[in-house]
Structure 1
Amino acid sequence: MTALNKQALREAAEKAGKDKWQAKKINGDFYVIRSGSYIKQCGITSYQPIAEIDHKPVRDFVAMVNPATTLALLDENLQLQREKDATEAVALALRDDMRQAREQLEAAEKRNAEQREYYEGVIADGSKRIAELESNEVREVRNQFLVVRHPGKTPAIKHCTGDLEEFLRKLIEQDPLVTIDIITHRYYGVGGQWVQDAGEYLQMMQGAGIGVKHQEDSVDSDVSSRNQPGMVVAVHIDAGDFVKVKGQVFEVEETDFDDHDVTLWFVGGNTLKCAAGCPVEVVSAPVAAGIKVKGSEHDRSTKR
């Protein structure tokens, strides 16, 4: 039904007035009468049929409101109701989808927060571990010291200033007969105990009845007229190095070979000794006689 027809029907209804009609059976016949006009009193029946109303707007309205018009209005109303129901169903589905999406978003944000907290903890632990390692590295360098032994003199403790190799060269230039031990907390001290610093080394040496004095002075730089170095400092042996123990050459494959500790903690004269006290000669090959110093660019040889 068009909008124009709807407007015309509305105008006709407004002109016909606001009467209410009703269908009623009177004397065996059906009539459409004005609601409330039917009266039966003292054997007399009165009523006002709509068809007898002499009022043009009413007649026009009755003519316009026919079965076809009424069915068209009802069908349109039914279609509108169906569209309304479909729209409401879509709205409900969208609401459910939005609720589900919101729940998924909240769950994802919670997981992200938990993961962020976890990784922040991992990063914090890693940073703490790195700081500890850096601290250990610094402590290791500071704990390193030298035990300098001069023939006929009390051994002295010296701390390296500057480059270690240059420091050792100057010490040996001052006294070609000097013997030097390099001690850090990684090396064995007296009796195979761990040495943490120079103070602990002094206590262990004094406990063993060995006199050692602590010197803080640096090496004299004016040693150009002294002899060139010929001694070897203490070394640490790793897998792949070769050692000679009691005349027999071994290739180091583990941290221990036989019952000899591979960490050399003492240098005396031309002989290196292991923790077990046996003479050990470090060689660069099974048939070589020179001593290989780990970490150096060239091999150094002991004085024969």
Structure 2
Amino acid sequence: MTNLPDTSNGRVADATKMNWVDRFAPAALRPYLRLSRADRPAGTWLLLIPCYWGLALAVGASGAGFAWGDLYIALGCTAGAFLMRGAGCTWNDFTDRHIDARVARTRSRPLPSGQVSPRVALLWMVLQVALAALILLQFNRFTIFLGIAALIPVVIYPFAKRFTWWPQVFLGVAFNWGALLGWAAHSGSLSPAPVLLYTAGMAWTLFYDTIYAHQDKEDDALIGVKSTALLFGGATMRWLFYFQVAAVLLMAGAVILAFAAAPPAVLMLALAAPWGFGLHMYWQLRRLDINDPANCLHLFRANRDTGLIAAALLVIAAAL
């Protein structure tokens, strides 16, 4: 990757230029917040948005509209996503610290650059998990069980690129768990609708994280780690289109199941969520250059808006 920014002050190379960590956080906390990738908030959004989808879908299925308890769930999901994304990134960077030191884009991260020691990084991870557990314990028993089960794919994901060309599948399993949690926190159980929504999120993750992986494909090939970017190569655009179609159809199926008893106008509004979601992915495909790392990073970050389009339309439909 060329034209990397100056990282002599500790800033991570792919952090957003005006991020709050490097501008406002106390200097002593910055290495730890960078380790949690608080200076790169796109991933927090991508973990959080499926929680909002699942909650909105559950409210829409109930037909009763939003209650104050749903705001409490949304706030809990927001704080929990921030903490668990931070813990997951800390674990990921701990396991990848030797690989990251050999990749231009990642060697400025806190562990390979020496800002944080491996032992302290693990302690920081435990602290974040403990705080997230306190939030999880506020929900119903079934949601607590689901939240604990979510730790399994989080632990496995960093190792996936060592043994499969499809590590993005493992990321999708972990990053979209919130679709199940959001539904379960409201309903106390699961049904086919949130499961379809979850698989839609997995297809979306394959879409955006394949774009993200194209930033590092040359370094990854030299080091010997795997990704869908390397697997697909010149066929990437075709595969991204498949993932886009799958995400839209699966989300539409989830919406139809959840809003089956709703008035036709409400169902049609809810179905605007997957179509708006898909149109934004199509917009990305029209602008993607897989050989331009800056373009890949920009479009990866744009997926925050992709997910929020669907979330906003689902919330509006559920509120009617």
What interval of TM-score do these two structures reach, taking the shorter chain for normalisation? under 0.3
Structure with greater helix share of residues: 2
TM-score normalised over the length of structure 2: 0.18
Which protein shows a greater Rg? 1
Greater relative contact order (Cα < 8 A, sep 6+) = 2
Structure with greater strand share of residues: 1
